[in-house]
Structure 1
């Protein structure tokens, strides 16, 4: 490429970044992005493919999910036609790994497990040394064949859902043996872990897992949902027990290394159907069933992209309220009530994570952000996360009991006081002049 072409490319990159917001080049923290492969089957504007992933918004991307064969005890594809190339398949494993061509620093891993996989077959595998060995060897073959950089364990949950009490220590044995196999190969080993204290105490030996895993992805969401039959927040930042702050305190008090913890941020909300349209405060009664969105089509679940489009279609109809105690918003219209995060609540969560000096943030899942930009900027929530990671204060004081609410508007920026600052500020203009000069010489 000619010098003119190089400079034009750099100028376009800078211009795009200026208009679209922040990415992972603006900070040194971890941004783990889960990709729900099933979003391929969503209708119309909700369909999400590997090509929709912006690899500049994440440091790690995780393919969800692979499964466990309960007979062979080996890892397996849950959707061969989508995951693999064989037989005319879509080859999503290959395409997912090829994202590293667009961002060579990107780490690409695969998650095994998930809610639908259950717990029992993982419990049966983990308690038997022979079955553990079969599983571990199969993952080595799997990662080598497909080119993944590591494995994310998403067993939901040890010692729960038909598991046994010994799962807590058997999970540690499994992780120990995986670590021994993976370390010489330079592979990552992570785990997605639960948020409620009632599960943490039963399922995880936190100090041991903290030493063995590269990162621990905290699923700090689904604190409340339609199952409660009363309105509640999907991911309240503060609260006595079921809140993000309480979850972080639990893991840290149990001995987790904060540098290994990655705070989960939901890019979706939980829906409820009010019993009485005139009762729409937090804790008011709701029906057994809620409502679903046009893309995700799951009762009680609504992607941020679905919600923003619904509000854009009827902007006057929807009422938005901010819960200053939980530090999150909620919206309602007639008998529909939704708890979900927005840019401000996500910023508050990231700021709290940085005060605890955590490794960074994790999102579930990319395909429920406004990835098409139908409501404005593409990936608005992902950009809010990266922006907050680049600007938040880190560990300068103990984490506050009550994280900050919506900040005051920032003052207009002053003129840069140093030569270096001035050069950085005017870099796009300098590049433009250089491009024009080179063009004139050509």
Structure 2
């Protein structure tokens, strides 16, 4: 069984290893309980982890720095990410011998570099068979984690996973459902990715990319968390995702600028993405009009034809209150380097007292 106590709230944050100008030493750990190193990728033939020397130094620095902070935080490394995804994990999970290679190597890396746990970020299982194989993977992973802890007389490694906003994948590919029974039994918690509902893949209209509510569709955080609860995963294992970035569009007509307004292209930022810190700078530089959308519980900024949808403290306040009322375990941010002077991280932490 998963080892985690359900009493402690989880206040997580992912640190992207490519954020070189924002090293782990910059993280204010007073607002977090768990920080994830993103990402490690196994060898795509053996499915073992080949850690290069420079990466090894970075991992040592990550865990030692964050464990020495006051207060210290738990550290996990996350495997995969949005850029690595579908076929790669599917091949590994379909083979018992490859699953064993992957599991044994992941545990070895965690212990060698002094991590407290491991996080799986498979975006996303593509077929019902992938979901079935994911269940086998989690069953075997938990077994090996327990066995290793008993053999070494150390606390069991934490096991978590970043998952789709809904327990069922219904927007692309064949309809498929996560293995809720295996997840409930084997993982300490899941990080539910309650964002990226809208973005550069649809430039016809603006969207609240992390909408708490959507009266017209099931693409919302309230629906997603509800579907996970309905699937049978305990509330004590559900962690709500919050984005520290926004998504941008170019408006068709500046006069029509609400959520869902006609658009013609992405807006400012790389592929229509800006961190929260960059959005604050944009708002200042362009004297942007900032609006709160009551229906979706989200913020947006407008300057000319530029439109940015994101979360700020007003929307995060409502989301944290919603999550607490729902009775789930906590929240996490993607990603910690995106905040502005810890404005959102601090507000969320204050609202969710341990």
Could you tell me which residue of structure 1 aligns to residue 4 of structure 2? Answer: none
CA distance in 2, matches of 1:53, 1:59: 12
8 Å Cα contact 2:206-2:260 kept in structure 1: yes
| Conservation of the 8 A alpha-carbon contact between 2:166 and 2:228 | no
Matched residue, 1:247: 224
How many residue pairs get aligned? The number is: 333
Contact 1:238 1:326 in 2 (8 A): yes
Match of 1:235 among 179, 185, 210: 210
Q: Which residue of 2 aligns with 1:389?
A: 352
The answer to whether 1:144 aligns with 2:111 is yes
| 1:175-186 alignment runs, 5 A limit | 175-184=138-147, 185=149, 186=156
> Secondary structure of 1:228's partner?
coil
Provide the secondary structure at the position in 2 that maps to 1:38.
coil
Name the SS for the 1:175 alignment partner: helix
Cα distance in 2 for partners of 1:107, 1:364 equals: 17
Q: Deviations over 1:86-131 (max 9, x none)?
A: xxxxx22111101111246521110000111121011001011011
Q: How does 1:121-200 map to 2 (within 5 A)?
A: 121-158=88-125, 160=126, 164-184=127-147, 185=149, 186-196=156-166, 198-199=168-169
1:109 and 2:84 matched:
no
Structure 1 residue ranges (4+ consecutive) displaced by more than 6 angstroms after TM superposition: none
Q: Which runs of 5+ in 2 are unaligned?
A: 1-6, 150-155
> Alpha-carbon deviation of 1:70?
1.1
Q: Which has the larger radius of gyration?
A: 1
Question: Is residue 48 of structure 2 the alignment partner of residue 32 of structure 1?
Answer: no
Matches within 5 A, 1:42-57: 47-57=21-31
Supply the distance in 2 between the matched residues of 1:197 and 1:359 (Cα, whole angstroms).
17
1:334-362 CA deviation, whole Å, 9 max, x = no partner? 11100000111101111111111111111
Contact residue 283 and residue 301 of structure 2 kept, 8 A: no
Distance 2:101 2:39 in 1: 19
Q: Which residue pairs with 1:411 in the alignment?
A: none
Partner Cα separation in structure 2 for residue 357 and residue 221 of structure 1: 20
Separation (CA, whole Å) in 2 of partners of 1:279 and 1:239 = 19
Tell me if structure 2 keeps the 8 A contact 1:262–1:359.
yes
Q: CA RMSD for the aligned pairs? A: 1.8
1:81 positional shift: 6.5
* 8 Å contact kept, 1:350–1:385: yes
2:308 is matched with which residue: 333, 338, 346?
A: 338
Partner of 2:3: none
Correspondences of 1:335-374 after superposition (within 5 Å) = 335-370=305-340
Deviation of residue 82 (structure 1)? 5.0
| Structure 2 Cα separation of the partners of residues 290 and 313 of structure 1 | 15
Partner of 1:285: 262
* Larger strand percent: 2
Aligned counterpart for 1:262 among listed residues 215, 239, 251: 239
Structure with greater proportional helix content = 1
1:377-416 matches, cutoff 5 A: 378-390=341-353
Which residue of structure 2 lines up, in the alignment, with residue 398 of structure 1?
A: none
CA distance in 2, matches of 1:340, 1:311: 12
Counterparts of 2:55 and 2:260 in 1: how far apart (Å)?
A: 42
Q: Does 1:95 align with 2:75?
A: no
Deviation readout 1:62-103 (Å, 9 max, x if unpaired): 0000012111111345xx47522xxxxxx2211110111124
Q: Secondary structure at the match of 1:355?
A: helix
Q: How far apart are residue 50 of structure 1 and its match?
A: 1.5
Query: TM-score, structure 2 length as denominator?
Result: 0.89
**Out of 197, 206, 213, which is 2:187 matched to?**
213
TM-score, normalised via structure 1 length: 0.72
CA distance in 2: counterparts of 1:140 and 1:345, whole angstroms: 38
Identify the residue that residue 10 of structure 1 maps to in structure 2.
none
Q: CA deviation at 1:208?
A: 2.4
CA–CA distance in structure 1, aligned partners of residues 135 and 167 of structure 2:
19
Q: Do the aligned residues in 2 keep the contact of 1:231 with 1:283 (CA within 8 Å)?
A: yes
Q: How does 1:416-427 map to 2 (within 5 A)?
A: none
